[in-house]
Structure 1
C-alpha cells in the first residue's frame, strides 16, 4: 500500500483545529507561532469525501457567512448532496425533543462546503471545482444543522462520515477504510469518528490508535454522543425565561401526547423532562404535571418504565375533550406496560369517555379503546381483549384510517393464537390481506402484523414449519427494527445465538426476548427452578405486565403465552 501524501490548504488553519498538529514538539512550536487552534463556531463541522485514490477533508458551515473559513467560494453541491441536506433538516425534529430555533431557518440556505486538505496515494491535489455529489455528508450535515439550531458548537476533535435519511436513520458509506486511513495523515487533531453502527467493526480495524470510533444507528444517538450534557445545560438556560419555559413545557407535553412521526429515540425526551423538573424553579401544578407526564411516556417507550400518576383534581375537566381522551389513552397504556396508575383508578375514567357505540368513536377514542384492550389482555381478560381489538381494527378500516389499523389487528391476531381461536386468527389474516390492498396500509405496521400472525399460528400449532420459516425471515431482515427482529427470532426458535450476542453487547430488547426464549424452554422442559429464574428476570424487565398477570392468577406458562412482546 503506497504511503499517503497529505496536502493542506491555507483555509484549513483558520477553519478549525482538525489539521493542526495533535501533540509533541511540532504542536508546541505551531502554537508558539500561531496561538491556539481556532474553535469551530456553531453550525460548523468537518466532512470527508473519496474520489478515486484521494480522500478530501471539507469544512461544512451553515448559517451566517462569517461562520465559513477564509478561502474560495465553496464547492458546488450535486443533487444527491442537496437531497442529503434536505433529509438532515427533516430528521432533526425527530432526533431532538426541543428545538431552540426554527429548522426552516437553518435549512433555508445551502451550507458552504470548503476544501481543507486531502491525502492521496498519488502526488496530486484534487480538483475541488468538481461538484460534490453523494449522500455521505448526511450525518455531518445533521450535526452541523443541530449545532446551528441549538447554538452549540461541535467539538473540534469530531468528524462524521455516514448517511442520514429523513427518518433519522444512519447508514453506511463507501470508501470507509480509505477515509479513516487518510484522517490520521491530514487531520491529526481528530480523535473521534462517528460512523454507522453497521460499519463500526470495519472502522475500528482501520482507524488510527488514537482515534475512537463511535457507531450510531440514529441521529439522536449521534447528537447525544457529540453534544452530551451541553444540550441539557442549554435547556436549563432556556427555562430561565418564563415565556420560553412555558413554550418548552408545552413542547414536551405535545411530543408525549401526540408522538412524533419517525421518532426513534425517546431517551432525550426522558432526560430533558427530568432535567426541567429538577432545575426549573417555581413550576406551577399544570406545568409540573405536563412535564411528569412527558417523562413517564418517554420512559415507557424507552424501557417500559416510568411512574404515571393521575392528574391533579379538576385538571382533566379543564382540558378540551380531545386532549382528555389522548391523556387517558396514554395513562391506560402506562398502566398496562408500567403498572401505574393502578387499574382500579384508571379504568373507570376510561369507561366514562367511552359511553357511546364504537361506530361513533373518533380516531382518538378508538385508540383509547385499543389501549383499554391492551390493559384487559395483561390483567387476565384475553377474551374481552381479543373481541375489542377486532372491533377497533374494523372500526379504523371503516373510516379509512389505514395507518391506525396495524396495532389492533396485530393484537387481534396474537390474542387469537393465545386463545387457540383458529377462526378469529383466519379472520385476522383476511383483514390483513384487505388492508394491504387498500393503499394506505404502509410503513412498518404491516410487518408487525406479519409477526403477530406468525405468533398466532405458532401458539395454535407449535410445529407449524411454515410459520417458523416466516418468523426466521422476519428475524434476519436487517431493514426491520430490533424490536421486531429479536421477537421474530425468539418465535423462530433458531435465533438463540444471535439473541445471546446482542444481549452480551447490552441490547435490552434482545435481552428481554432471550429471557422469554429461556422461559419457553423451561416451560416445555417442565423445569420449575428454571421457570422461576426466568420469571424473576422478566419481572425486572417488565414489572407492569408480569405483575398484572400474576395478580390475575396466571401461571408461568400462561404468562409466557399472554406476554405482549
Structure 2
C-alpha cells in the first residue's frame, strides 16, 4: 500500500493540540519553535471524514465560534441533522444541565479544515459540503463541553454516528480514518467508536491508540469528562438558586427516569458529591438528593440505602408524586433491602385502596413494584397474577412504554412457578405490543430476555432460548446489564465471555458469573459449592438474597427465583 501523504494547514497548530507530536525530540523541537500546544476552549473537539481516498481532520467548535479566521466548511443536510439530534440526545445523556442546550444548538457548529492525508500529494477541496452522520458523537462531545464548561481533552477524538436517543452507531471508512489519524493527529491517544465497531477498530488502530467502544452518548460523556462533570455539579451548587435547580433535576430524573438513559453512574456520583459538599441543606433538599442517589445506585448495581421520608414530607407532595416516590421505595426495598418490608409494604398498599381498573399510570407502577416485592418475599404466584393484570392494564390505556417492565416480570415468573400457559399469554402480548408502534427501545429487549429465562427454566434442554441468550450476550449495542444476564442463561456457552468481562472489572458480569457458577454447581449436585455461591451472591445483592432466605428458600429455589 503506498504511503499516505499528509497536508497540514497553517492554522492547525494554533487550533488545538491534535497535530502536534506526542513526545520525544521532535516534540521538543516543535515546542522550542512554536511554544506549548494550545489549550482547547470548551465546546471544541476534532472530527474525521473520508471522501474517496482522502481522510480529513476537522476542528469542530460548538456555538458557531470561529476558529483562527477560517470561514469554515459547509454542512450538508445529514450533517445538520446530526447536530440537531445531538441537541436532542444531550439532555437524555447528561443527568443535569445548568445551561440551556437550546442556546448551545441555536447556531450550527463552526467546522474548520486542519489537515488531510491521501495517496497523492494534493489538498482536498474543502469548499465541498460535509454531508454524513459520522460527526454525531463528536458533535455531542463538543456540545456537552460547551454546555458544561468542561474542555474535551486534546488526546480524544470520536468517530461514530448517533441518533436522537443518544444511541451510538457505525460509520463508514473506519479503517481509512484510523490509518489517516495516526499520520494527522499524533497527539490523539484515545478514539471513541461505536461498541459494535470496536473490535474492527482495534485491529486497524495504531499501537499508541486506545480504542474505546461506547454504546450510548451517556457512556461516552462519562468516559471523556469523568470526575470533572461531577465537580462542575458541586461548583454550580455554590449559587443558591442553581443549587435548588440542580436538586430538583436530580430528584426529577430519579423519580421519572429517562427513556434513553442507560448509565446512571454520573447521577449517583453527582448526587453523592452534592450531599457531601452542600453542608447546609434543609431536610427536604437532603432527602431529595439521598433519594436520587439511592435510585441511581439501584440502577447501577442494586445498591443504595434510603429510608422513609421525614415526617410530614409525603403529605406535602401531590398524590401522583407520593405514588411514584413510594413505588421507588418499594422497588428499593425489593432490590437493595431498604426500607424494611414491614415499613414500606403497608404504606404502599394504603395508597392503592381502589380497584386496579381505576388506577392511574403512577398507581399501576406502584402495583408493579409491589408485585416485585411479592416475588422476592416468597409469594411468586401472587406476584405473577398481579404483574399480568398490571401489564394488561397498561396495554389497555395504550401506555406502551410502561408495558415492558410488568410484562418482563410476568414472563419471568411464569418460568419460576412453571406455568406454561401464563408464559404463552405473555408471549402473545409481547408479539401484539410489537405491532403497536409505541412499544420500542430497550423495553422489548428486556422482555425477550425474560421470555428466554422462562423458557430455560421450563425446559433446560431446549436449544432456542440458549441460542437467543448467546446472541443477546454478544450484541455490543445492548447495555451490559442485559448482555451479561443473557450470558448467564446461555449456560456454558456464555461462561468464557462472562469471565473476561468480570476480569475486566465489570461488577454486573461478576454477579452473573456467580449465578452461572451456582447453576453449574446445582447441575453437578455440589451443594457445598452452591452454598458458597449464594454467600458470594449476598455480597453483591444483599436485598434479594436476604428476602429469599427469610422465606426459607433453598439454594436451588434462590437460583430459580433470583430476579436478575
Q: Identify the TM-score tier after normalising by the shorter chain.
A: over 0.9
In the TM superposition, what is the alpha-carbon distance from 1:472 to its structure 2 partner? 4.5
Determine the C-alpha separation between the residues in 1 that align with 2:27 and 2:519: 61
Give unpaired runs (5+ residues) of structure 2: none
Determine the C-alpha separation between the residues in 2 that align with 1:478 and 1:30: 41
- In the TM superposition, what are the counterparts of 1:13-412 in structure 2 within 5 Å? 13-65=13-65, 68-412=66-410
Give the stretch that moved more between structures: 466-475 or 317-326: 466-475
Give the stretch that moved more between structures: 249-258 or 408-417: 408-417
1:383-426 deviation line (CA, Å, top 9, x unaligned): 21111111211222222222222221221222122112233233
Equivalent of 1:420 in 397, 403, 418: 418
Q: What's the secondary structure of 2:192's corresponding residue? A: strand
- Contact map agreement 2:195 2:477 (CA 8 A) in 1: no
In the TM superposition, what is the alpha-carbon distance from 1:431 to its structure 2 partner? 3.0
1:522 and 1:387, CA in 2 relative to 1: closer, same or farther beyond 3 A?
same
1:94-119 deviation line (CA, Å, top 9, x unaligned): 22111121111111111111101112
In the TM superposition, what is the alpha-carbon distance from 1:209 to its structure 2 partner? 4.2
Q: Which residue of 2 aligns with 1:515?
A: 514
1:30 and 1:394, CA in 2 relative to 1: closer, same or farther beyond 3 A?
closer
1:194-230 deviation line (CA, Å, top 9, x unaligned): 2333444444444444444333332223222222222
Structure 1 residue 504 corresponds to structure 2 residue 515:
no
1:520-546 deviation line (CA, Å, top 9, x unaligned): 121122211110121122112211111
In the TM superposition, what is the alpha-carbon distance from 1:377 to its structure 2 partner? 0.3
Structure 1 residue 558 corresponds to structure 2 residue 557:
yes
Determine the C-alpha separation between the residues in 1 that align with 2:5 and 2:298: 52
1:481-536 deviation line (CA, Å, top 9, x unaligned): 33333333333433223322332333333332222222112112221111012112
The number of residue pairs the alignment matches comes to: 563
1:64 and 1:113, CA in 2 relative to 1: closer, same or farther beyond 3 A?
closer
Determine the C-alpha separation between the residues in 2 that align with 1:98 and 1:447: 27
Determine the C-alpha separation between the residues in 1 that align with 2:215 and 2:30: 38
Determine the C-alpha separation between the residues in 1 that align with 2:265 and 2:44: 25
The TM-score, its normalising length taken from structure 2, stands at 0.94
1:75 and 1:532, CA in 2 relative to 1: closer, same or farther beyond 3 A?
same
1:446 and 1:156, CA in 2 relative to 1: closer, same or farther beyond 3 A?
closer
In the TM superposition, what is the alpha-carbon distance from 1:6 to its structure 2 partner? 1.5
- Contact map agreement 2:502 2:510 (CA 8 A) in 1: yes
In the TM superposition, what is the alpha-carbon distance from 1:24 to its structure 2 partner? 4.2
Give unpaired runs (5+ residues) of structure 1: none
Determine the C-alpha separation between the residues in 2 that align with 1:315 and 1:15: 53
- Contact map agreement 1:94 1:264 (CA 8 A) in 2: no
- Contact map agreement 2:63 2:106 (CA 8 A) in 1: no
Give the stretch that moved more between structures: 549-558 or 219-228: 219-228
1:483 and 1:26, CA in 2 relative to 1: closer, same or farther beyond 3 A?
closer
